[in-house]
Amino acid sequence: MSNEADLKRARFRTFTAENLVRAENRINLTLFAAQAIPEFWGECCKLLGLPENSWLERVVVEGEPLRPDFLVRQGDREVGWIEVELGGRNEAQLAAYGVKFAPLPIVSVVGCTGNVTGDPLLGEIAYLAGRVAEEIKATNRPAAAVLEFLALQIRDSCQGATRRPFVQLLPGDLADRPWFAAAAAPFSDLLEAGFMVNRPTNARSLSLRLVRGPSVRCRDSFAIITQRELDHLLVPEPAEMERVFCGPLKVMAEKWGALLDRVYPVWKSHVDGRHRIRIGADIVVQHACTFVAIFADLRDLLIPRAGIEQDALSASTAQVFQEPRIPQPGDR
């Protein structure tokens, strides 16, 4: 389903198999009901940027296992979609929906706090619902009860989800961060091959994580590089690599420890409660060639075919940073 003709031929049917264990679905159902309250819904359409007299439908799209939370209609005409998240926007999912359901626009509604993308906030919907509930309580108590319930659901659910991580596309300004510009090739190979994802807590931060697999023993994924502030990064301590890595990756813990001892001898004094080391971005930039080499080693252990590119990569970065490759355990 990639064009307007395909969308017009699509068969929609009402979706009723809700999983009410998920707070997001409970909010969606209450919002679905609240659209029947004119005093609330007219203002909510403006907040969401929807055309006047729009209404929401919960549908299943034939032939598509996934779809956004709401189909937006004006009369019988489809005019857009809405995707709701308790935390930040899910960039990867929105991109996939944009391809599948073009040319209809997709409105991303996110959690209760400010966001850098300017999306409508559930927190704003909760405030609107609470205000309108007070205004109509004397004349329409059942409708006021629905709106009060919607506001309460949103506030209770968003409190624990404002920093919920999602798989995201890489931040647009990433190429401007010198350390990543040097290390881009190994990371790009791992991301493209599906061994790595970016799962940060917001669209501007970075959390490059190896996905759980035969060589990575963890619940879901293991963070290799996290950057929330431009001046520093968080990286795992060697003991964590030793605990999580197995199979061909087992050698990486010793290599990683040797690298840290060389470029950041005081690293043991900067380990946090989650076994992550806070290291200045300037240190990573200064020793970029060394970090690139070890990230390339990691890549080549997971994707052997990529090894043919490593010599060219190391040579090019060495010309820029003039730093020899770190000695490896077993070197003579």
- Tens digits of residue pLDDT in 128-152: 999 999 999 999 999 999 999 999 9
Beta pairing, strands 77-84 & 70-74:
antiparallel
Tell me the average pLDDT of the chain.
Answer: 80
* pLDDT for the residue 20: 74
- Structure tokens belonging to residue 312: 């060219």
pLDDT bin (cut points 50, 70, 90) of residue 259 is: very high
Q: What is the percentage of the chain residues whose pLDDT exceeds 70?
A: 75
Distance CA 262, CA 204 (A): 30
- What are 235-258's pLDDT values in tens digits? 999 999 999 999 999 999 999 999
Beta carbons within 8 Å of 28's beta carbon, 6+ residues apart: 58, 69, 70, 84
At how many degrees (to 10) do helices 23-34 and 122-136 cross?
A: 40
pLDDT bin (cut points 50, 70, 90) of residue 114 is: low
Distance CA 118, CA 120 (A): 7
218 vs 178, 206, 244, CA distance in Å?
30, 19, 6
* pLDDT for the residue 202: 62
Query: Which stretch, 85-89, 152-156, 313-317, has highest mean pLDDT?
Result: 152-156
Q: Which residue has the higher pLDDT, 320 or 248?
A: 248
- CB atoms near residue 326 (< 10 Å): 19
pLDDT at residue 18 greater than cutoff 90: no
Sheet holding 106-109, edge to edge: 54-57, 70-74, 77-84, 106-109
* pLDDT for the residue 16: 67
* pLDDT for the residue 93: 84
φ and ψ at residue 87, rounded to 5 degrees: -105, -135
What's the mean pLDDT in 289-296?
Answer: 89
SS3 17: coil
* pLDDT for the residue 136: 96
* pLDDT for the residue 51: 87
What's the mean pLDDT in 202-227?
Answer: 84
* pLDDT for the residue 196: 87
Report yes or no: 48 and 107 within 8 Å, Cβ to Cβ.
yes
- What are 172-205's pLDDT values in tens digits? 666 566 667 666 778 888 887 888 888 876 666 7
* pLDDT for the residue 311: 39
Distance CA 38, CA 30 (A): 15
* pLDDT for the residue 137: 93
9: amino acid identity, one letter: R
SS3 298: helix
- CB atoms near residue 307 (< 10 Å): 13
Q: Which residue has the higher pLDDT, 316 or 72?
A: 72
Distance CA 2, CA 197 (A): 25
